Amino acid sequence: MKTLNEIKIWIKQRDTPTKRALFRAAKSVLRPDFPPVPAIHLTLYAMISLISLAVLWVINALYWKPIFICWLSNRPKRLFLYGKGLPYLTGPLNISIGDDCRISTQITVTGRTSAPVPVQLLIGDNVDIGWGSGLYVGTRIIIGNNVRIAGQGTLAGYPGHPLNAKDRANGDPDLDQQARDIVLEDDVWLARGVIVNAGVTIGRGSIVAAGSVVTKDIPPGVLAGGVPAKVIKNIDENPTDHIGASWERVA
DSSP character string of 116-177: SS-EEEEE-SS-EE-TT-EEEESSEEEE-TT-EE-TT-EEES--SS-SSHHHHHTTPPPPGG
| DSSP-assigned states of every residue in the chain | ---HHHHHHHHHT--SHHHHHHHHHHHHHHS--PPP-HHHHHHHHHHHHHHHHHHHHHHIIIIIHHHHHHTSSS--SS-EEESSS--EEESSEEEEE-SS-EEESS-EEEE-TT-SS-EEEEE-SS-EE-TT-EEEESSEEEE-TT-EE-TT-EEES--SS-SSHHHHHTTPPPPGGG---EEE-TT-EE-TT-EEETT-EE-TT-EE-TT-EE-S-B-TTEEEETTTTEEEEEPPSS--HHHHHHHHHH-
Intervals of the chain under pLDDT 70: 1-2, 237-251
Angular region, 14: left φ>0, alpha ψ -120 to 50, beta rest:
left
Confidence at residue 247, expressed as pLDDT on a 0 to 100 scale = 38
Domains and CATH numbers, the chain: 71-250 (2.160.10.10)
Which amino acid, one-letter code, is at 238?
N
In 3D space, the residue among 181, 175, 215 whose CA is nearest the CA of residue 199 turns out to be: 181
247 and 206 in contact (C-beta within 8 Å)?
no
Active site residue 161: yes
pLDDT value at residue 82:
92
Contacts of 246 (CB under 8 A, 6+ apart): 223, 232, 233
What does the pLDDT read at residue 244?
A: 43
Structure confidence by residue, pLDDT tens digits, 113-164: 988 888 999 999 999 999 999 999 999 999 999 999 999 999 999 998 989 9
The active-site residue, picked from 161, 168, 180, 204, is 161
